[in-house]
Amino acid sequence: MGPAELVQAAAMARRFYLEGKSKIQIAEEFGVSRFKVARVLETALERDLVRIEIRVPAELDAERSDALRARYGLRHAVVVESPAEAEESTDPENLGEVAADLLGELVTEGDVLGLAWGRSTIHMAAALDRLPPCTVVQLTGVYDAGTAERGSVEAVRRAAQVSGGDAHPIYAPMLLPDAATAAALRNQTGIARAFEYFDKVTVACVSIGSWEPGISTVHDMLSDEERAHYASLGVAAEMSAHLFDAQGRRVGRDLGERCITVEADRLRRIPEVVAIAGGQRKASAIDAVLRSGLVTSLVTDTAAADFLLTAGPAPRPALQRADPDGA
CATH number at residue 260: 3.40.50.1360
- Same domain membership, residue 197 and residue 133: yes
* pLDDT for 82: 81
- Is 326 inside any structural domain? no
Q: Check if the beta carbon of residue 117 is closer than 8 Å to that of residue 208.
A: no
What is the CATH classification number for the domain harbouring 43?
1.10.10
Spell out, as residue ranges, where the chain has pLDDT lower than 50: 86-87, 145-149
Q: Is residue 175 part of a domain?
A: yes
Is there a domain that residue 54 lies in? no
Same domain assignment for residues 220 and 99 = yes
Tell me the sheet residues that pair with 239.
Answer: 242
Is residue 52 in a domain?
no
Q: Which residues of 23-61 are buried (b: 16+ CB within 10 A; e: fewer)?
A: beebbeeeeeeeebbeebbeebeeeebbeeeeeeeeeeb
Instruction: Examine the domain organization and report whether 83 and 24 are in the same domain.
Output: no
Q: How many CA atoms lie within 13 A of 108 on its CB side?
A: 3
Q: Are residues 208 and 172 in the same domain?
A: yes
- Which residue segment(s) compose the domain that 222 sits in? 60-320
Task: Tell me which residue of 90, 249, 259 sits closest to 172, measured CA to CA.
Answer: 259
User: What's the DSSP call for residue 238?
Assistant: E
| Count of structural domains within the chain | 2
In angstroms, the first-to-last Cα distance of the chain is 61
What CA dihedral angle connects 221, 225, 226 and 229, to 10 degrees?
150
Residue 302 lies in a domain: yes
pLDDT given for residue 146 in this prediction: 46
Residue pair 117/150 in contact by the 8 Å Cβ criterion = no
Report the C-alpha gap between 30 and 35 in whole angstroms. Answer: 12
Q: Same structural domain for residues 210 and 175?
A: yes
